Amino acid sequence: EIVMTQSPASLSLSPGEKATLSCRASQSVDSNLAWYQSKPGQPPRLLIYVTSTRATGVPARFSGSGSGTEFTLTISSLQSEDFAVYYCQQHYNWPWTFGQGTEVEIK
Amino acid sequence: EVQLLESGGGLVQPGGSLRLSCAASGFTFDITPMAWVRQAPGKGLEWVSVISGNTYVTLYADSVNGRFTISRDNSRNTVFLQMNNLRAEDTALYYCTKYLRRDVAVFDSWGQGALVTVSS
């Protein structure tokens, strides 16, 4: 099983600031990495897949990069609706595994 | 518009059984792999099981293998999760999800979730 590790566990930022979230895989997942956004009381929302492809309707301020074992989700300028928990998921090898999440909170 | 509507959650004693259902609409159901992903209280996401569109392939997380069974009825656009021998650690919100595409195992649509509580 591929273990996904996210850092930091939490990030305290102000609206308008840039957020950089990291995700590391225990072995290479090539470019098969997705990101989800999770808010209380709502189901998770797919943001990005195959490292950098934005899902339908996802704003351009969300971008993904990386390959192999190291990946990054960048939110260029945080909006109020972006404060949430973000999960990475590898879709390279079954069983599909998620990271433990990074909480982006308002400073 | 894609809609996924779970039902069947509830409170069950350890060792008991529960069957979740998920009614789907808004996409071509019979060619789309469907999956269940769960989230324990205060915890992260855990993939549980997936079934291919033609039902030939089913996969399970080690944590539920041998106790849970996924199935689907393509005539009713519904996917099921039969959960037997439930344990306290199975307590979670269970989301019904669909694959983005048959060959891309990311979950692009989610239901609101069905809460399963295993407690005596």
Is the Cβ pair A95, B95 closer than 8 Å? no
pLDDT category at A5 given cuts 50, 70, 90 is very high
Is the Cβ pair B108, A46 closer than 8 Å? yes
Distance between A16 CA and the closest CA of chain B, angstroms? 27
Distance between A46 CA and the closest CA of chain B, angstroms? 5
Supply the pLDDT for residue B3: 98
User: Count of CB atoms within 10 A of residue A79's CB?
Assistant: 11
End-to-end, the C-alpha distance of chain B in Å comes to 40
From first to last of the 120 residues of chain B, give the pLDDT tens digit: 999 999 999 999 999 999 999 999 999 999 999 999 999 999 999 999 999 999 999 999 999 999 999 999 999 999 999 999 999 999 999 999 999 998 899 999 999 999 999 999
Please state the φ and ψ torsions of residue A81, each to the nearest 5 degrees.
-80, -5
B47 → closest Cβ in A95, A99, A101? A95
Is the CB of residue A34 less than 8 Å away from at least one CB of chain B?
yes
Considering only CB atoms, which chain B residues are within 8 Å of A91? 104-106
Both tokens of residue B114? 């069905």
d(CA B72, CA B53): 8
Q: Would you say A90 and A5 are in contact if contact means Cβ atoms under 8 Å apart?
A: no
> Using one digit for the tens of pLDDT, what is the confidence trace for A35-75?
999 999 999 999 999 999 999 999 999 999 999 999 999 99
Three-state SS for A13?
Answer: strand
d(CA B62, CA B25): 30
Considering only CB atoms, which chain A residues are within 8 Å of B47? 95-98
Supply the pLDDT for residue B40: 97
Supply the pLDDT for residue A86: 98
Supply the pLDDT for residue B53: 94
Considering only CB atoms, which chain B residues are within 8 Å of A99? 44
Both tokens of residue A21? 């979230």
d(CA A96, CA B84): 22
Burial class (CB in 10 A: 0-12, 13-18, 19+), A93: middle
Q: What b/e sequence results for B29-46 when a residue is b if at least 16 CB atoms lie within 10 Å of its CB, and e otherwise? A: beebbbbbbbbeeeeebb
Supply the pLDDT for residue B14: 98
